[in-house]
Amino acid sequence: MLHGMSADAPRPRLMPVAVVLFALGMLAVLAVFVLFATGERNLPVWLSGAAGLLTPLGFGIGLYVLVREALAR
C-alpha cells in the first residue's frame, strides 16, 4: 500500500478512460507510421483523425485527473 493512501480511497473514474484513449491514439499513430513505411499514401481520414485527436485527448484527460487529484489533497 502506498504511503498516505487508505484501502478505501476513491479511485478516479476518468483515468482508465484517459489511458484507453491515449493507447488507442498511440496505436493509430503506429498504424500511420507502418502504413507510410510500407508505401501507402492514401490513408483513411478516420485513421489520421484518431492519431491526431485521441492521443492528446487521452493525455489531456489524464493530466486533468492528476491535477485535480493533487489539488484535492
Percentage of the residues of the chain whose pLDDT score is greater than 70: 85
What pLDDT, on the 0 to 100 scale, is given for residue 48?
92
pLDDT (mean) for 61-66: 94
Separation of first and last alpha carbons in the chain: 17
pLDDT (mean) for 45-53: 94
pTM of the model as a whole: 0.80
Grid coordinates representing 12 are 478516479
* Helices 45-72 and 14-37, axial angle in degrees (round to 10): 150
pLDDT digits (tens, 9 = 90+) for 12-39: 789 999 999 999 999 999 999 999 999 9
What pLDDT, on the 0 to 100 scale, is given for residue 6?
54
